[in-house]
Amino acid sequence: MDRPKMTAGLLVALGGNALQRAGGTGSWEEARAQMRATVAVLAEVASEGGPLVLTHGNGPQIGTLLRQNELAAREVPSRPMDVLGAETQGQVGYLIQTELTPALRQRKVSRSVLTIVSRMEVARSDPAFRRPEKPVGRYYTDDEARRFRKQLGWSMEYDGARGGWRRVVPSPRPVRWLEGDAVRHLLDARLASSWVPVVAGGGGIPVVRRPDGGYEGVEAVIDKDLAASLVARELDLDTLAIVTDVPGAAVAFRRPGERWLRDVSLTELERLAAAGEFSAGSMAPKVEAGIGFLRRGGRRFVIADIPSLARALRGEAGTRVTAD
């Protein structure tokens, strides 16, 4: 079956302070208040028309569920990482639906917000499964780390700066979004302006193909920015906007000579990335995702924070990169 061709559209990948305030309590009331500020901007973007798709991170939410699993383990069987990923997609999607729907109505935008629990296929042969490197959950003492390594087979890594151990899991690259075709049909030329799909939360649920052709979840975390890039490509959207907690990308970030990037060519962004200008733990994955998106047919890549997102999409703020 031929896949319907999308018209120009936008994917906004939420992260950072779009979902949870740094240093906050992590309460549901706080999450709702933070989301209200986020959806006011998203409603403004949605009022411009055209396909709009949302993705989001889930780091704090996964951490909370992992801790709840630990505390309840004597009474309730723990759930694996893929199941926790599905739970956080529902949790954050529900939050977005609850707050974005009235914000759209206030702007007289007639769109339904729809959360789609999304699976991402990864390869069993991905080298990440041999070298777990993605930290998840809380910090552990020496005794706890030894116990979990022995009892549960966890890979643990010591963080000298924090003086504690953290569990590390594989972070394989996404190769296919299993719900992609369904969302493409949902956003065809007749329906694109009727929906705001929320998809691939937390990078999507990592699954591998079984010999019988089915799929099964694996203990892993997919980078949310790489997943957002893949989703935007599979939907033929022309703009990928990654929302973070800083107003753009910078050279020499928080060092002498700091310079914020505004309008940048793809070639220049690739040169800066190759020179190591973006830190591995924060901006580098976003830049890699944007480069991959543009090299595979995307037209525009934007990095911004929530307050400046709408202006960044108009070319007035943020970091803006266009295909060569």
Q: Give the catalytic positions in this structure.
A: 16-17, 134, 224, 286
Cα-based distances in Å from 150 to 77, 146, 156, 188: 19, 6, 11, 51
In angstroms, rounded to a whole number, what is the distance separating the alpha carbons of residues 11 and 187?
12
Structure tokens at 225: 């920015």
Q: What are phi and psi of 206, to 5 degrees?
A: -75, 125
Structure tokens at 80: 């694996």
DSSP 270-281: HHHHHTT-S-TT
The single residue listed with the structure tokens 């920015």 is 225
In angstroms, rounded to a whole number, what is the distance separating the alpha carbons of residues 12 and 119?
18
Q: What are phi and psi of 215, to 5 degrees?
A: -135, 155
Amino acid, single-letter form, for residue 232: A
Structure tokens at 46: 């949605």
